[in-house]
Amino acid sequence: MLRPDLLLVTETHRVLFLCTGNSARSIMAEALLNHRGGGRFQAFSAGSFPRGAVHPLAIDTLRRNRIPAEHLRSKSWSEFAEAAQPPIDFVITVCDRAAAQACPVWPGQPITAHWGIDDPAAVEGSEEDQARAFDRAFRELDARITILASLRLDALDRLGLRRELDRIGRSGPAAD
């Protein structure tokens, strides 16, 4: 017998990654989960104050790692807060500023989590330093998203899933 408090593994789960500017971390997370999720997830990204353009190094990093980067765009989180939108199952913030902001009320009462990742777009220095920062953020996101994609969602209730998402967010940064 199916328990209504368990998430079904056969459905596609909608995940929204949030950051303030929606130009780097959340964009890479969206692309990674859509690629690694095996059809179990449909990922999106948005920002509270979107920059309006995806950072070129985010696109370069995705392409170098053979992650499709077509159709990625910087967008506002208000697109996903409209009542006409299909419900979001998970909302994951990837920057501390977005996690501290008052978020809209999301349709569907999603499970929320915070996965803080240093902002590679804020790194100043040589092109090599900047590329290294994007690579590091990519590796951290990839490690966390790989864990998320491997979870047996059919075996977890909402509280258990929330705990797992929080545990993933506390996982340490990838080594350089």
| pLDDT in the model for residue 175 | 46
Q: Could you give the residue numbers annotated as active site?
A: 19, 95, 103
Segment 148-165 shows an average pLDDT of 89
Predicted confidence (pLDDT) per residue in 38-74, tens digit = 899 999 999 988 898 999 999 999 999 999 999 999 9
User: What per-residue confidence (pLDDT) applies to 105?
Assistant: 66
- Which residue ranges form the domains of the chain, and what is each CATH number? 13-168 (3.40.50.2300)
Please give the pLDDT value at position 144. 96
pLDDT, greater one: 133 or 109: 133
Can you give the chain as a three-state secondary structure string?
CCCCCECCCCCCEEEEEEECCCCCHHHHHHHHHHHHCCCCEEEEEEECCCCCCCCHHHHHHHHHCCCCCCCCCCCECHHHHCCCCCCCCEEEECCHHHHHCCCCCCCCCCEEEECCCCCHHHCCCCHHHHHHHHHHHHHHHHHHHHHHHHCCHHHCEHHHHHHHHHHHHHCCCCCC
pLDDT of the residue at 25:
96
Which range of 69-83, 86-100, 114-128 scores highest in mean pLDDT? It is 114-128
Tell me what pLDDT residue 94 has. Answer: 92
**pTM of the predicted model as reported, rounded to 2 decimal places:** 0.87
